[in-house]
Amino acid sequence: MRKRSLLILFIFSLTIFLCLADYSYSQKKLKVFISVDMEGIAGIVHGDHTSSSGKDYGIARRWMTEEANAAIRGALEAGATEIVVNDSHGSMRNVIASELNPAAFLITGSPKLLSMMQGLDQSYDAVIFIGYHARAGTKDGVLDHTISGGTIYSIKVNGSEMSEAELNALIAGWHDVPVVLIAGDAAICEQTKKSLGGELEVAVVKRAVGRYAAKTLTPQKAQELIQKKTKIALEKRNKIKPFKQKAPYRFDVNFLRSSMADMAELVPQVERTGGRSVRFVIDDYIKGFKLLRALIYLAR
């Protein structure tokens, strides 16, 4: 009888130990996704910075890489166990792989099905946006545009005008993952504070003095701010709700020219709503985002 009691006690103790070990492991896990654009990086104000043919592109991509590194350092300080950086600008071959912190994985190149959010799924705990910019038509937004400056005038989802940050945040929300930090110019930080919620952390690295000029932090100061804000944002991640809208999703796309809407209207699911505008309605946001990307490529 005593042996049986000891055996039961041993099994019970072992079960408790394994449960505590599993809980401890789950508590330590922190998987972070970082999407890095370019127009919102400190010091960047012109196409010469953001285009691979521009004379200032070399130094600008280094600033971009270093802001990503700053976010990585902040994530590691917060206890991140896995970090993925997605190069999210233009050709998506801007981040200098040899200079990126080796603690992170890099997703580079294009096209990618989910573009700036490629690789994100429900296994992540938080999303961070670095180098983001205001939506097209924003007063005092540095290099403001939405996805394609030569194609898109505006994009609305369920009646709300979207920036790239908000479109991408909806992808994160679809996977129940919160966007916890946005770093960029003052305009995008103000826009996303209103739409994504007041708990969102922001790192303002510059303020526009017109579309092609800004009062900016030096790269070093911007990187220090991003590192600090990343740690704060990740430590409070459970207080930040994923950004969501209810299905069905109504996409209203307003192009720059009527010929672009002509091309988009060729897709059977798409309805013409004006000289330069089209609409489609869909229940699955990810499929809707992919269709949006296809329409933009077609319009070009």
Could you give the CA distance from residue 107 to residue 115 in angstroms, rounded to a whole number? 10
Angle between helices 57-77 and 219-235 (to 10 degrees): 30
> 273: exposed, middle or buried (C-beta count within 10 Å: 0-12, 13-18, 19+)?
middle
Name the β-bridge partners of 296. Answer: none
The first and second tokens of residue 190, run together, are 């103000």
In sign, the C-alpha dihedral spanning 148, 200, 129, 167 is negative
Could you give the CA distance from residue 247 to residue 176 in angstroms, rounded to a whole number? 15
| Beta carbons of 175 and 124 less than 8 angstroms apart | yes
Bridging pattern class, strands 179-185 and 160-161: unpaired
Could you give the CA distance from residue 272 to residue 255 in angstroms, rounded to a whole number? 12
Angle between helices 285-299 and 164-174 (to 10 degrees): 150
Q: Is 145 a catalytic residue?
A: yes
Cis upstream peptide for 111 (omega within 30°): yes
Q: Which residue among 46, 49, 145, 175 is the active-site one?
A: 145
Could you give the CA distance from residue 144 to residue 138 in angstroms, rounded to a whole number? 6
Terminal-to-terminal C-alpha distance of the chain: 81
Q: In what order do the strands lie in the sheet with 82-87?
A: 104-107, 82-87, 31-36, 126-132, 179-185, 201-208, 214-216
The residues annotated as belonging to the active site are 145
